Structure 1
Amino acid sequence: MRTEVVSEPGGPDRRNEDFAAVAVPASGQGGCLVVLDGVTPPATETGCLHSVPWFTARLGGTLTELTVYDRDLTLSEILSRAIGRTAETHAITCDLSHPRTPQATVVLARWSAATVEYLVLSDSVLLLEAADGSVVPVLDDRLSRLPRSALARAALVDATLRNKEGGFFTAAADPSVADRAVTGAVPLGEVRALAALTDGAARWVETFHEGDWAQCLALVRKEGARALVDRVRALEAADREARTRLGRSKTHDDATVVFVEL
């Protein structure tokens, strides 16, 4: 098995809000990957005493533990339990009903001798590469289907779209959101590699249109996860003056790439 993990903050003066892990049980049978993209909080009140990195570290650590060792649970059940456990750690001190309580997008994948299972919640991406090199992207596209005009005002998004029916969902403090995730399973023999990307790394495809998902995974396979992040950073720097592609987005976002060759 070949694995690569690269996770880089959006700038030297910023803490990385992403979380990434690859784990293999002591038995050596199967394994899992976990990728979270913490949602950058607003400058205003969030109802929570804790930072987004605090949240993603705890949620990510719990997801990794449960995904590796509780194989009787589905990935949706694992996400639900992990959200619940994380919420319990700060429910007494924080207002977890606040719409901007710490939250994150989620990618989970778990493989055994027979099956690859997956879960995606919000706008991070999981790529499944078949033996013939074809690539299937697993996407939760609810956020991308919303009109940009609906996302223009943060207060309106929080009131009407964030973790709301007809809007989009992230892992925050409500365990039931796990039922909103995109899930599935495929035979292990149909997958030779996996790649998980936060949206900061997926910009190579989604924002700058340098290639499709198959070309993106081929780049990671040939040149490594670091090469993809480096190319995204170069494109962001070149776009800084014109702002033609980034629009209102951050010039540099946290970027995480996890690659696993099964």
Structure 2
Amino acid sequence: MRVTFATEAAPGRPNEDFVAAAPDVAVLLDGAGTPPGSDSGCSHGVAWYSRTLGSTLLTAMSQSAGTLAELLSVGIKSVSSLHDGTCDLAHPGSPSATVIMLRRVNDTLEWLVLADSVLLLDVVEAAEPVVVYDDREAQVGALHRAEMDSFASGSDEHVSAHRRYVETLRSYRNRDGGFWVAATDPFAADQALIGSMPADQIRAAALLSDGASRLVDRFHLSTWRHVLDTLDESGPDDVLRQVRAAEQSDPQGTRWPRGKTFDDATALYFQL
């Protein structure tokens, strides 16, 4: 296997994404940021949560034969135990993150996807990749983002509307009829998208945070096939360069209304 990855924080903010790999395993998390003026009930922050859970999962995948869902459930419990005495884990804004876990076991490639990061599988003899994407948050968000999208990004009105949007979505988090993320409830692991395929049927896989996948699913400036080709030919840095160029071309969100003008962006390319 060969793994390359790149990650870049949004300007002026700490990187709340986490990405790592070890022999035959890879993990990517995208932390759900807390907007200015909104509380999370946690003194550690989203970046801490992503890094702590991500490193826990990477170790578990490398050392344990448990299923990916089992490892994620145990990982959520473990991280919760690290700050349940200092933080309010019942707070609706308690730090959370998307999760992609990828593991090769003998002749099989296994994956788990929770929330809206994107996994691409470059399948042998297939023109288009398999796209594994949990769109439940996007479906809920579409019902509530009209006000936020009506304001110019960066304006006071947009900042306030974005905060209200995020706080509204919290009421849908980790419940039936809403969407599921890694936070404090280990049951969320059972709601992830899980699959496997013979490893010899897959040339490569790509793990993308939504800050990187927006090149396709929000900006519509590329295709999943082209992203995979770019990763193969130019590497993850080039994908992030294209994302930043698009964001910089539309600083007020006129062409592409969005909650964040710039987002943390992470891409990992896993070649079998």
Q: Sort the TM-score into its range (normalised by shorter chain).
A: over 0.9
Q: Runs of 4+ in structure 1 displaced over 4 angstroms? A: none
**Could you tell me which residue of structure 1 aligns to residue 235 of structure 2?**
224
Does 1:36 pair with 2:29?
Answer: yes
**Could you tell me which residue of structure 1 aligns to residue 134 of structure 2?**
140
Task: Please state whether the residue corresponding to 1:172 is helix, strand or coil.
Answer: coil
Task: Please state whether the residue corresponding to 2:99 is helix, strand or coil.
Answer: strand
TM-score (norm 2): 0.89
**Could you tell me which residue of structure 2 aligns to residue 14 of structure 1?**
13
Does 1:154 pair with 2:154?
Answer: no
Give the residue type in structure 1 aligned to 2:269.
Answer: F
Is the CA contact (8 Å cut-off) linking 2:119 and 2:206 kept in structure 1? yes
Q: How does 1:116-135 map to 2 (within 5 A)?
A: 116-132=109-125, 134-135=128-129
**Could you tell me which residue of structure 2 aligns to residue 252 of structure 1?**
262
Task: Please state whether the residue corresponding to 1:260 is helix, strand or coil.
Answer: strand
Instruction: Call closer, same or farther: CA 1:242–1:116 in 2, change over 3 Å.
Output: closer
% identical aligned pairs: 39
Residue 241 of structure 1, CA deviation: 4.3
**Could you tell me which residue of structure 1 aligns to residue 83 of structure 2?**
90
TM-score (norm 1): 0.92
Is the CA contact (8 Å cut-off) linking 2:252 and 2:261 kept in structure 1? no
Task: Please state whether the residue corresponding to 2:44 is helix, strand or coil.
Answer: coil
Residue 147 of structure 1, CA deviation: 5.5
Give the residue type in structure 1 aligned to 2:201.
Answer: E
Question: Can you list the C-alpha shifts for 1:114-143, whole angstroms capped at 9, x where unaligned?
Answer: 100000000000111112353101111112
Question: Can you list the C-alpha shifts for 1:152-191, whole angstroms capped at 9, x where unaligned?
Answer: 63333222x1222111111001111100100011111111
Gapped regions of structure 1 (runs ≥ 5): 25-30
Give the residue type in structure 2 aligned to 1:215.
Answer: H
Instruction: Call closer, same or farther: CA 1:115–1:100 in 2, change over 3 Å.
Output: same
Does 1:49 pair with 2:43?
Answer: yes
Instruction: Call closer, same or farther: CA 1:87–1:131 in 2, change over 3 Å.
Output: same
**Could you tell me which residue of structure 2 aligns to residue 178 of structure 1?**
189
Task: Please state whether the residue corresponding to 2:143 is helix, strand or coil.
Answer: helix
Give the residue type in structure 1 aligned to 2:80.
Answer: A
Number of residue pairs matched by the alignment: 252
Task: Please state whether the residue corresponding to 1:44 is helix, strand or coil.
Answer: coil
Gapped regions of structure 2 (runs ≥ 5): 148-164
Give the residue type in structure 1 aligned to 2:270.
Answer: V
Give the residue type in structure 2 aligned to 1:155.
Answer: E
Task: Please state whether the residue corresponding to 1:46 is helix, strand or coil.
Answer: coil
Instruction: For 1:186 and 1:77, locate their aligned partners in 2 and report how far apart those are by CA, in whole Å.
Output: 19
**Could you tell me which residue of structure 2 aligns to residue 28 of structure 1?**
none
Instruction: For 2:253 and 2:265, locate their aligned partners in 1 and report how far apart those are by CA, in whole Å.
Output: 22
Instruction: Call closer, same or farther: CA 1:155–1:51 in 2, change over 3 Å.
Output: closer
**Could you tell me which residue of structure 2 aligns to residue 27 of structure 1?**
none
Does 1:100 pair with 2:110?
Answer: no
